[in-house]
Structure 1
């Protein structure tokens, strides 16, 4: 267990119709974590884009700012390296968690 305590303190969900059948769903939330005895408060914004009821794009914004990538940094190669390390971290997390398998009922 990484965090001794974690919870979502507050959240708000907003749905916007971009065009018929296409929506943008914004999830604005405030989270609280306790890590090594320290209190951490994080504000995040999750953007989900849907087409025909299916999520086709997902963006995370920490402190309501886009994550650094090849489009948001000055040197695209550095941004690409950040993306690769983030993807590797995600794959490692999935491997440690059993690849996101739902528990058997």
Structure 2
């Protein structure tokens, strides 16, 4: 990834039948989600379409939580080695490492 993501927190908001995800600090649009019936301006960062009504709202809220989820995953990755050397902890750390890499644009 060439640049870091827009800092969180982000928030989801219904606007004209579609859901937008916006940066809290300056209101910048992060993504706009809608169902197959919606229309998006071409300037949107993400043009994601979903087949089922209501799924776009759930996805908007999940995307809005992404910065906090990433920060928590990074904290857990740092703290879990203190728990001990149980195989399940090692697998969890490995899974967190992969998910964090994916969130930062790397290979999972």
Fold match by TM threshold 0.5: no
TM-score between the two structures when normalised by the length of structure 1: 0.29
Tell me which protein shows more helix as a share of its residues. Answer: 2
Bigger relative CO (Cα 8 Å, ≥ 6 apart): 2
